[in-house]
Amino acid sequence: MRRIYNFSAGPAILPVSVLEEASKAVLELNGSGMSLLEVSHRGKDYDAIHAETMSRLLKTLGLSSEEYAVAFFGGGASLQFAILAMNYLAAGETADYIESGEWGVKAVQEARRVGNVNIAATSVDTKYDRIPKTLALSAPGVAKYVHITTNNTIEGTQYFDLPETNGAPLVADMSSDIFALARDYSRFDLIYAGAQKNAGPAGVTIAIIKRSFLEKAHKNVSPMLSYAVQVQKDSLYNTPPVFPIFVVNEVLKWIEEQGGVSAMEQRNREKAALIYDALDAFPNFYTPAAGDPADRSLMNITWRLADESLGKEFLAEAKAKEMDGLPGHRNVGGFRASIYNAFPREGCQALADLLRDFAQRKG
């Protein structure tokens, strides 16, 4: 099997052992004579996978099932932008949003369809090049929740210290850094994440909800969009995305084998440092996109070339060295190296070597 260094932002690289287990299960699940893609979602083989994935999710994040519940959705993180507001807001009610990137802006747009949004902080004035730190939160008791994006996939910034919320529940879009850091996950009342970056393939979105916050969800939401119904029905209200859930479980097993989220964080810090150090060694040649080095993402490293006319040449050289997926997001341009948990250290070293070599030759 040929493996290139795939720096794509998502869907993104998965561990080979996970791909192998998925391939086997697609051919035959547990000696059942059936493929994973053919078995009933209410049969015993799938049932075990479903329950195991839920409990492994909580265990990986250091959360207990007494305090937290898991729900699986379709529709991507983008659907969560809408249903979060449908479950927790109403006309005349307010939620606080910290806008640290383009995905956060989309979350705000959806919440505004349902209720009032107080932008507690934004870095729009500096093109979302940093995590905004000065907060204008609603008065205590006013905001139904405070929403953040823990990792800004497009801009390449990440939260390392979580914000205060004035007592309001903290909700996070963790699509691009769930399982990447040893955070205190019990600080969150609701976490959601599309699987296709750090957790598995596209097709399932993970929601992890504090039970005390679940009690506050509206009861009159369409069942498919309701956190309460999905939890009550164990995410088997209708047919769940069986294959992506199986792969998430395999990714979680892999994380466990590697030493859990603390080991992931340690590796992620080392991997990112290889690339940031190479960029910083040539400050007149490369400009990292994150304006405050303290906010630099460990997952999506973004930068520009001082001489943009060299961009095509850089990408061609990268391609010749088996590196792909490096152009920045279409809205911002520049370059982006996405190095989620499963991305190998050797690929980071290969990119760092190319960055240094290219700058020495062309700078």
From CA 195, how far away is CA 203, in angstroms rounded? 7
Nearer to ligand PMP, 75 or 311 (CB): 75
Q: Is the peptide bond before 169 cis (omega within 30 degrees of 0)?
A: no
Nearer to ligand PMP, 10 or 244 (CB): 10
Q: How far is the CB of 177 from ligand PMP (least distance, A)?
A: 8
Which residue, 186, 203, 206, 226, is CA-closest to 88? 226
Q: How far is the CB of 103 from ligand PMP (least distance, A)?
A: 4
User: Would residue 254 show up in a list of annotated catalytic residues for this protein?
Assistant: no
Under 8 Å between Cβ of 170 and 146? yes
The DSSP letter of residue 187 is G
Which residue, 72, 76, 79, is CA-closest to 245? 72
From CA 308, how far away is CA 199, in angstroms rounded? 34
Which residue, 266, 277, 331, is CA-closest to 301? 277
Residues 6+ apart with CB under 8 A from 8: 324, 325, 338
From CA 310, how far away is CA 224, in angstroms rounded? 49
Q: How far is the CB of 75 from ligand PMP (least distance, A)?
A: 7
Nearer to ligand PMP, 29 or 178 (CB): 178
Q: How far is the CB of 84 from ligand PMP (least distance, A)?
A: 12
Nearer to ligand PMP, 76 or 216 (CB): 76
Tokens of residue 78, six digits = 């983008």
From CA 274, how far away is CA 353, in angstroms rounded? 9
Nearer to ligand PMP, 192 or 286 (CB): 192
Nearer to ligand PMP, 103 or 286 (CB): 103
User: Would residue 295 show up in a list of annotated catalytic residues for this protein?
Assistant: no
Q: How far is the CB of 68 from ligand PMP (least distance, A)?
A: 21
Q: How far is CA 361 from CA 224, 282, 310, 314, in A?
A: 56, 12, 12, 11
- Tell me the residue type at 270: E
User: Would residue 303 show up in a list of annotated catalytic residues for this protein?
Assistant: no
For the chain, give the longest Cα–Cα distance. Answer: 63
Catalytic residue, chosen from 96, 144, 189, 197, is 197
For ligand PMP, the binding residues (CB under 6 A) are 10, 76-78, 103, 149, 153, 173, 175-176, 194
Nearer to ligand PMP, 21 or 173 (CB): 173
Catalytic residue, chosen from 96, 129, 144, 173, is 173
Is 287 exposed, middle or buried (CB count within 10 Å of its CB: 0-12, 13-18, 19+)? middle
Closest-by-Cβ residue to ligand PMP is 76
Q: How far is the CB of 175 from ligand PMP (least distance, A)?
A: 4
Under 8 Å between Cβ of 194 and 12? no
Residue 80 φ/ψ, nearest 5 degrees: -65, -35
From CA 213, how far away is CA 77, in angstroms rounded? 19
Helix (H, G, I), strand (E, B) or coil at 173: strand
Helix (H, G, I), strand (E, B) or coil at 236: coil
Q: How far is the CB of 83 from ligand PMP (least distance, A)?
A: 12
Catalytic residue, chosen from 103, 144, 271, 303, is 103
For the annotated catalytic residues, the residue numbers are: 103, 173, 197
